[in-house]
Structure 1
Amino acid sequence: MNTPTDTLFDFNKNSDLSLWNIVDDRVMGGISQSFFKITDEGHGKFYGYVTTERNGGFSSVDYDFETVKVSPTSKIKIKLKGDGKTFQFRVKAFAYDRHNYIKEFDTTGEWQTVEIELSEMEPSWRGNTLKIANFNKDQMTRITVLIANGKKQNFELLIDSIEIVKS
């Protein structure tokens, strides 16, 4: 039995990254810097340097898209290769929401498939967990990959595809 999936983004050499946007701690005076590009092999590459200097400490890349229908029992499936660091995956249900729903994931240095249940994603705003329910919406409008491990470090994350697994 195949589980239905919707592809949010499938990276290849011709991928259009115009709806992907870098947001670093520079928006609040920090000096971290990250980049997002397509590799020669056709993967999305999120990489850079994070530092806590000048009250900074994060780098992220956002992907805004037309509203996608989901259910709280859906999962996000990401094929990726990280550098052994911990990243956060974030979801925004509505464009006007100030908060995100977040879940951390560890990378192994090898290609792996990370599955994140939407219902396990906790509400957060500016690094603080909010006292509202975990993700329980029927739509998404943005996803974000973020790194903020509280120390100076280079990072690199290759992404092959991001899908929604419907249940």
Structure 2
Amino acid sequence: MKWILLLLTFNWYPQNNMKEIYRFSTKTNLREWRIVNDGVMGGVSRSNLFIVNEGHGQFSGHVSLENNGGFASIQLNQSATIPDETKYIVLRVKGDGKQYEFRLKNNLYQSVSYVHPFKTSGEWETIRLAIGEFYPQYFGQKLNRPNFNYKNIEQISFLISNKKEEDFKLLIDGISMN
């Protein structure tokens, strides 16, 4: 059984054209990640990130609309160079059927995030997000600027903000490029 799990875990990373950005494991240092919820704007949503027994990251909590709130997120400052031939960010996740956003920043100090929404199915899945479809957003507003077209990443994040009060749970195995 252990061998089957190992094969399934590593099977989604074809060695010839995938470049890993981040992978959760039982040895993950969670202090690398930062929780940023709507409390920064007066909201009361709550979330946490922890490692489940299988070594996946679990981002979960409750989004509240009280006090003009409505989002929860986790962020990681992670530098990665994007090879010229790269077309996709690839997520290996198991969600709860809800929609989430994956976000990129090419500079830690920029206020704009580049956003790509994705819907989860409730099963483990590999989701491919076209890099050229990450659109610029500032405080929830889409900007009239070009989509992500940079050669590096300095921050990645997951966010949930569906304009409704809800519990959520997203298991994350890894993030890569291809």
CA distance in 2, matches of 1:112, 1:28: 33
CA distance in 2, matches of 1:10, 1:73: 18
Match of 2:60 in 1: 47
Q: Name the TM-score, length of structure 2 as normaliser.
A: 0.88
Q: Name the TM-score, length of structure 1 as normaliser.
A: 0.94
Deviation at 1:2, TM superposition (A): 6.1
Match of 1:114 in 2: 127
CA distance in 2, matches of 1:116, 1:23: 23
Q: 2:100 aligns with which of 83, 87, 96?
A: 87
Q: 1:12 aligns with which of 16, 25, 29?
A: 25
Deviations 1:14-34, CA, capped at 9 Å, x for gaps: 111221110000011000000
Q: Tell me which protein shows more strand as a share of its residues.
A: 1
CA distance in 2, matches of 1:60, 1:72: 29
SS of the residue aligned with 1:94? Answer: coil
Deviation at 1:161, TM superposition (A): 0.8
Q: 2:81 aligns with which of 64, 69, 79?
A: 69
Deviation at 1:4, TM superposition (A): 2.2
Deviation at 1:72, TM superposition (A): 8.4
Count residues with an aligned counterpart: 164
CA spacing shift, 1:72–1:60, aligned 2, 3 Å: farther
User: Is the contact between residue 83 and residue 107 of structure 1 (CA under 8 Å) also seen in structure 2?
Assistant: yes
CA distance in 2, matches of 1:72, 1:23: 32
CA distance in 2, matches of 1:129, 1:72: 27
CA distance in 2, matches of 1:19, 1:47: 17
Q: Gapped runs of 5+ residues in structure 1?
A: none
Match of 1:56 in 2: 69
Residue 142 of structure 2 is aligned to residue 132 of structure 1: no
CA distance in 2, matches of 1:30, 1:135: 29
Deviations 1:82-108, CA, capped at 9 Å, x for gaps: 000000010001111110100100001
Q: Gapped runs of 5+ residues in structure 2?
A: 1-13
User: Is the contact between residue 89 and residue 129 of structure 2 (CA under 8 Å) also seen in structure 1?
Assistant: yes
Fraction of identical pairs, as percent: 38
SS of the residue aligned with 1:77? Answer: strand
Match of 1:146 in 2: 159
| CA RMSD between the two structures | 1.4
SS of the residue aligned with 1:119? Answer: helix
User: Is the contact between residue 86 and residue 177 of structure 2 (CA under 8 Å) also seen in structure 1?
Assistant: no
Once the two structures are superposed, the pairs formed by residues 148-167 of structure 1 within 5 Å of their partners are 148-165=161-178
CA distance in 2, matches of 1:16, 1:50: 25
